[in-house]
Amino acid sequence: MKRGVGFSLPVTFVVLAISYIYFSTIFIFIDRWFGLLSSPGIFNALVFTAIALMCVFTYAVAVFTDPGRVPSDYAPDIEDAENPIHEIKRKGGDLRYCQKCSQNKPPRAHHCRVCRRCVLRMDHHCIWINNCVGHANYKVFFVFVVFAVIACIYSLVLLAGSLTVDSPNDEQQSGDSFRTAYVISALFLVPLCVALSVLLGWHIYLILHNKTTIEYHEGVRAMWLAEKGGNVYSHPYDLGAYENLTMVLGPNILSWVCPTSRHIGSGLRFRTAYDNLTGALTSK
């Protein structure tokens, strides 16, 4: 499902940043290191262009894809034998209900104060895509971060490599301009590589444990309360590392870096560790 998007300063900044990194990498770093008309220059330009196009495409999909709306007629079925657990409020033990939206909340759904509605399997609201990261666009957001990390590291390597080449002609003609471009690029790429790598590592951790950012913070409190009561807390949606990966990225390994989400389901019900336990007990 697509959504309408108005002007957003952070999105504009990201688009300009991608454009700057692309053109500086192609027409400065690659050109000065290899020469754009040489075989290594053409090869690196084509590879970097392909990565940049994937960044632009996945970013656009993350921006324009609705993260997942709760159907207006949604109601939890407490008698559903195939759904062994129902999420309840921390206080009172009632089924989850959103007072702002005036409707029941499915498992893993949360209300976004920015979007002013409940979002299915909400991870967080991201200002850089002017959208929530939720059930329908989580994978494409993750794939975008993967390609963005690859592009930034690739560009940084090309920047460093091009500095090892001494080009007297360039130095005489436009040395000051190149030096300015190199300084700006380095000051921009180094922190960006670090920030995006940390973000990628964080979401790899979340995917391996089948958690959202919200569920991680809720789980920290739940673990503390469980230990205080002498119990052991376990995340109910953790199915094991490989199963967790396939739940988010898809059953086919070859499609993990492709922005396809046909496997995600409705977002109203998710497999839990209790499903496997129930199946094991009924088979005995």
pLDDT the model gives residue 218:
83
Matching residue, tokens 């609705």: 66
**Distance of alpha carbon 68 from the chain centroid:** 15
For every residue of 42-56, DSSP letters joined together read HHHHHHHHHHHHHHH
Length of the chain as a residue count: 284
Q: Each residue of 84-93: pLDDT tens digit?
A: 555 655 554 5
Q: Could you give the dihedral angle defined by the CA atoms of residues 152, 60, 74 and 244, in that order, rounded to the nearest 10 degrees?
A: -30
* Separation CA 196–CA 151 (nearest Å): 11
Which position has the higher pLDDT, 217 or 191?
191
Matching residue, tokens 């991870």: 123
* Structure tokens, 134: 């939720």
To the query of whether residue 258 is one of the catalytic residues in this protein, the response is no
pLDDT at 36 over 50: yes
Closest CA to 142 of 193, 200, 192: 200
Please give the C-alpha separations between residue 94 and each of 89, 225, 230, in angstroms, as whole numbers.
5, 19, 24
pLDDT the model gives residue 281:
38
Q: What percentage of residues in the chain have a pLDDT greater than 70?
A: 80
Contact predicate 211/219, CB 8 Å: yes
CA angle 125, 129, 130 (to 5 degrees): 65
pTM, rounded to two decimals: 0.89
* Separation CA 50–CA 42 (nearest Å): 12
* Separation CA 73–CA 65 (nearest Å): 22
pLDDT the model gives residue 46:
98
The SS3 call for residue 166 is: coil
Of the listed 101, 112, 115, 126, which one is catalytic?
Answer: 126
Q: Each residue of 17-30: pLDDT tens digit?
A: 999 999 999 999 99
Contact predicate 23/17, CB 8 Å: no
pLDDT the model gives residue 12:
96
Could you tell me where the DSSP H helices lie in 104-250?
138-163, 168-208, 213-228, 241-249
- Give mean pLDDT, residues 70-74: 91
Q: Each residue of 143-182: pLDDT tens digit?
A: 999 999 999 999 999 999 999 886 555 555 455 678 888 9
Residue type, 193: C
* Separation CA 64–CA 130 (nearest Å): 9
* Separation CA 284–CA 222 (nearest Å): 32
- The mean pLDDT of the chain is 86
Q: Each residue of 223-282: pLDDT tens digit?
A: 655 556 667 678 889 999 999 999 999 999 988 988 888 889 999 888 888 765 544 434
Matching residue, tokens 């913070």: 217
pLDDT the model gives residue 78:
67
pLDDT the model gives residue 82:
54
